[in-house]
A and B are shown apart, each in its own frame.
Chain A
C-alpha cells in the first residue's frame, strides 16, 4: 500500500503536473543542432584525413575509418533528434516545468518563489536563427538549476520578464 494520501487535502484534486501539455522547442533549434553535429563530424574527418596524409602506412584503414565516422554521425543524428523531440517546457501560474532525457526521462519543476535569478544566453549559431537559452537559477545549487536551449528569442525574453516579475512580487 504505497498510494499516498492525506486527509485534509485531497491529493487527487491538486493540480497535476503530468497533465500539463509541454511546449516543444523552436523547430529552428534542430537546425542549430544539425549544424553543430556537422561541424563535429567535419572536425573528426579533417583530423583523420590529416593522419592519412602524414602517415602513409595508415591509408589501409581509410574505408573502415570513413564507415566508422559515418556511423558515428548517424548515431549522433538519431540521438539528438530523439533528445530534441523529448525536450519540453511549460510555464504554469506558479512554476516552470522542464522535461528532457532519452534513456532517463527527467522533469524538473521550479516554483517562481524559489528562483534566485534568470539568465539568457545567445550562442553564435543560435543567434543566426533568433534563438536563446534560458537559464533558471535556484538556491538549490547546480543540480537544482535548469537550462533550456532553443527558445525563440522573443519568447525567451517574455518568459524571462515574466519570471523576473514573479520573483520580485513573490518576495
Chain B
C-alpha cells in the first residue's frame, strides 16, 4: 500500500470528502494518517466541522479502533519562508523579501515553484521519521488539485527542474519527483457516473500514465441507490396504466378510476420512472467506460442525509469494506 495517496477528481465530484474518508479509513486500527490540503480552500475544516486550519499539523479526528487523523493546510508562502529560514537563516531578510513581493512572486507567479513547495511539504511528511526511526505518519493523503490540473501539478517538479537547473529548488524538485514517481505514491481519481466527470477521468488517467505518474484507483462517488433494476424498468414499459392505478389503489392511495387519487398518481410516477430509466442507461454507459480503464474501481453511496461528519465515517467504513484501505 502506497504511503502517499493523492486524491484528485473533477470539481464537484467530492474529492475532498473522499480524501478525508480515505484518511479515516487508512488510520483505522491504530494507524496515523496526515490529510493535507493544498488549495487553501479550508475544505477539510468545513468537512470536519472545525475552525480554519493553520499551517500546522493538528489532530482533527480519531479513527475507529484508535487511529488518528491529522490535518495540514499547506500554505505555499509560509512553506517558502520556512524553507528559506532552514537553508539560509534569512531572518529579517526573509521579511524584506516578502515586502518586496518576492515571496508572492515565488509562490504565485513563478511557474511551478508553488507546486514544488506544496508537493515538497507533503513528501517531507511521507519521509519524516521519529527518534526511533519509525515513520511519523503511516499514510499521507493529499486533497489535490482537480483532474484537469493534476498531472501538471505533480509533474511540475520536472518542469521546475528544467527551468531552475541548479540550486536548492532544483534539488528539492528532483527529490520530490523521486517520491512521486515511485510505488510510494498512488494517484486516485474521484468521479461521478456522469458523462463529463467520466470523460475527464479517462483523459486524466491517460495524462498521468504518459507522465509516468502512478495511477491508483477510481472512486465513483455519490452513487444513487438502485431502486428499480433492468427487469423493473422493462416492466414499467409493459404494464398497463390501469393495472398500476389499481395496485396503487390497493395500497390505500385512493381511487383507481380515471380522475381518482391513485389514477392521477400513475403519470407522475411513470414520469419519474422514465427519468430514472434514462439515468440508469447513462450510468451503465459510464460504468462501462470506467471499466475499460482496467483499474480497481470503488463505488461510494450518495448519502441520503447529505454530507456530514457521521456520513464521513460511513464512507470510511465503506472504503475499508471494499478493501481500499
**A and B pair up:** no
- A binding-site residues for B, Cβ under 8 Å: none
